[in-house]
Amino acid sequence: MMYDRITPDGIREWFDRGVRDGYRFLVIYNDSFDYDYFPVLFRSAEDLYEAYDQLGSDNWVSMEEVYDLSMDKEFQMSEFRARHFPPRPSKNGK
């Protein structure tokens, strides 16, 4: 599925959908090859960082914005670029 440049209203819709469906994070990806932006919802910090780690430096896709769905939506929407990465989970459980 391709998305046109996602609008603030589109981000709000995805934010609300994520909250309603029990997700924790909304990431707006930027596909710099196609100049396209698309949303992806994540249920946990572990899932988010698994996707983050799969993005290599030679990848055309980047995490442009990260919304924490437990935080105030309008506060994050008022920022120039939301970058609310959670702390990286420990791999050894500590």
CA of 84: how far to CAs of 3, 33, 62, in Å? 23, 25, 15
| DSSP-based three-state secondary structure for 38 | strand
Give the pLDDT of residue 93.
55
pLDDT of residue 1: 42
Q: Mean pLDDT for each consecutive 10-residue tract of the chain (94 residues)?
A: 71 97 95 82 96 80 93 97 93 61
pTM for this prediction:
0.86
